[in-house]
Amino acid sequence: MQSLAVNLHTHSYSIHTGRGLSGQVRSEANQLQTKGHKVAVVTDANIVRTQNSWLLDAFGNIPTLILPPGETTKSFAHLQSCCEFFAEHKLDRNSAVFAFGGGVIGDLTGFAAAVFLRGISFYQIPTTLLAMVDSSVGGKTGINIPAGKNLVGAFQQPKAVFADVNLLNSLPEREFSAGMAEVIKHGMLADSALFEILASADRLHPDHPDMAGIIRRNCSIKASIVQADERETAKDGGRALLNLGHTFGHAIEAVAGYGTLLHGEAVAIGLLLATKLSVALQLVDHSNIARVEHVLSRYNLPIRLPSPLSLEELMLSMTRDKKVRSGTLRFVGLRALGEACTIDSVNPNLVRDLWLESGAVSPH
């Protein structure tokens, strides 16, 4: 196990990566209980089916809430289920909750921990590649509403993150590819050498000997950005850069219906659209489009909408994005592969043209 520190002004924690970490998690839970702190676990039915032995090794008979899998679980209804479960088991402000699952479970559990008793501790135990390299790090938690993705939430930093690479062995290939979209994103926005590895070296897979190192590298990129701008308040750049491809991707998820496309699949389409936007604004050379298409296709990620979506609904969804400031939508683009930037005041007609090129349909 190797550890990476995330040092914030008000709270610091460690991201632990390696293989076979159930014992370390069990030790953490035991220490909490020895001190008289109540502990609970939130997971989903898929994890119980595929990782039950890990669950038992790490948590034994600790009270466990099992939720339905999928993006639609990030809802007010399941937020209420979490809070009622915490109350049922008499969790107090000294208690801690372990989120054992992918990004959905981590986001939901973290938000529940933020609001229950106005804040209790929680730990991230990510089980998907996407969660290991992205959503478990940085403290953004929340749920979706029909108007948009992650529009309701809170900043709630975890006490620690334990990323056991062995948990990826049960991950469906499609889910692994979806996680690679976030790995590709980090290369595009901050690490050109990582991007080149993804484009030309051996294709990564759960048993790849470099997998743990790649996860740590991604966590390091995200941690350094979060440390400099924890609550995404920088006027330019800052934590907003981590949203590369997400302004487009979140609109796709909202209009297609949550769960129709995996988050990483929607982000992959968004990454290519962000590249095309950067080319159209003459920030990068046209050749970068083919380079991004190549690496996305290499990991079986979509580069256009798999089925037509309404242009007007996509445009409307984008206006509800969290990155809207004073009525103006901010995009994240590229100055180069490996260097991202925030972009303000983009002509809506240019955005509409990019959507149409990617398979959106207009009634006109």
Residue 255: strand pairing partners: none
9 is catalytic: no
| Interatomic CA distance for residues 169 and 231, integer angstroms | 34
From the list 74, 78, 140, 149, the catalytic residue is 140
From the list 28, 175, 182, 265, the catalytic residue is 182
203 is catalytic: no
Burial of 234 (0-12, 13-18, 19+ CB in 10 A): middle
78 is catalytic: no
Does residue 124 sit in helix, strand or coil? strand
232 is catalytic: yes
Structural tokens at position 332: 């994240």
11 is catalytic: no
250 is catalytic: yes
From the list 217, 239, 322, 330, the catalytic residue is 239
Structural tokens at position 155: 């900043």
One-letter identity of residue 238: G
Q: Name the H helices within the chain.
A: 22-34, 45-50, 52-59, 76-88, 103-115, 129-130, 173-190, 192-200, 211-228, 246-256, 263-280, 287-298, 311-319, 348-357
From the list 74, 243, 265, 322, the catalytic residue is 243
From the list 250, 276, 322, 330, the catalytic residue is 250
182 is catalytic: yes
From the list 118, 235, 349, 364, the catalytic residue is 118
From the list 263, 276, 322, 330, the catalytic residue is 263
243 is catalytic: yes
- Burial per residue of 187-206, b for 16 or more beta-carbon CB atoms within 10 angstroms, e otherwise: bbbbbeebbebbeeeeebee
Structural tokens at position 225: 């950005």
> Look-up: residue for tokens 């990068």?
284
From the list 185, 217, 222, 330, the catalytic residue is 222
Catalytic residues: 118, 140, 182, 222, 232, 239, 243, 246, 250, 263
